[in-house]
Amino acid sequence: MIRPSYHSSSAFLARSIDLGEADRRLTFFTRDSGVLVTIGKSAWRSRKRFGGTLQRYVLLDIAWTERPGGMAVLASASVNRSFWEIVEDWERVRHADHLLEIASELFPQAGPKPRAFEVLLRGMRSIADGESPPETARKVEAELLAIGGWGPDLSGCRKCKGQESRSYRFLPSEGGILCETCPPSGGSPLSLGAVKTWRAMQAGKAAARGRLRIPVGIAEELRIVIRGYVEYCIGKRLRSLGET
C-alpha cells in the first residue's frame, strides 16, 4: 500500500461545498500549492479537529494528505490570523470575496504561489484595516495580473509607442493600450490619468502603492476596464462584484 504524503501551507478558504452527510469539499488558495481542493472529513461535525476555524477571511495554517490519483484530505486547520473586521461590513465582504476569486482564477495551477499569496494576504489585511475596499481591489488586481505575466503593457501606444496621448484605448487582445489614431479601432477609452494610475499600481514600490489614492473618476474607469481584462485573461465571467 502506498503511504499518503503529508503537506502543509498557509491558506485562505475560497469555497466550501457540502458533500452528503458531513463531508465538505473545501477549496483553498495556498501559498505552497496554489489552488488546493481537499475533502474535509466530517469537517463541520468534528469540532475537536477543526473547531470553528474553517471560515473565510481567516489566514489558516492547514495540513493535508495526498495519495497518487486520490483527492487531498484535510488533516488539520488552525487560525494563524483572523481578519474578523471584514465580516462587519458588506462592502468589505464583497471585495474580500473578489480577492479570493481573482487569485484562484488567475493562478489555478498547482505549485507554490508565494508572490500571489503575499498580494492576497496584503489585500485582506488592508480591507480589515479599513482601507477603501474598491481601491484595495484595484491594487490587488493590478499586481496579480502583473505577477501572472499578463501585464498589461502600459508604457505607451502598442503600435507607435506614443507616450503622451491625452487619452488611450485599452484593448485586451493587444495586452495594452493604443493611441487615438493607430489601428485597430475600438476598445475601452482610458484617460492618461487612469493609465498612469494603473502603471503605478503594477510597478510602484510597495510603500508608494500603499499611499496611492485613486480619484473617483479614475477609479470608475479602472474598475470597468480591469474587470474586463481579468475576464479576458481567465476566459470567463467573474462571479464576485457583479452588478447589484
Residues that bind Zn ion (CB under 5 A): 157, 159-160, 162, 179, 182
- Nearest distance, CB of residue 173 and Zn ion, angstroms: 16
We find the least distance from the C-beta atom of residue 172 to Zn ion, in angstroms, to be: 17
Nearer to Zn ion, 140 or 157 (CB): 157
Which grid cell sits at 143?
499586481
Looking at beta carbons only, is 162 or 187 nearer to Zn ion? 162
CB of 163 to Zn ion, least distance (A): 10
Q: Is 190 exposed, middle or buried (0-12, 13-18, 19+ CB in 10 A)?
A: buried
Of the pair 69, 183, the CB lying nearest Zn ion is at 183
The cell numbers describing 170, all together, are 485599452
Looking at residue 182, what DSSP letter applies?
S
Burial of 55 per CB tally in 10 Å (0-12, 13-18, 19+): middle
Alpha helices in 112-191 (DSSP H): 114-128, 133-147
Compute the least distance from the CB of residue 188 to Zn ion, in Å.
16
Direct distance between the N- and C-terminal alpha carbons of the chain, in angstroms, rounded to an integer: 52
Q: Which is nearer to Zn ion, 165 or 202 (CB)?
A: 165
Q: CB 234 → Zn ion: shortest distance, Å?
A: 28
Cell numbers at 83, concatenated? 481578519
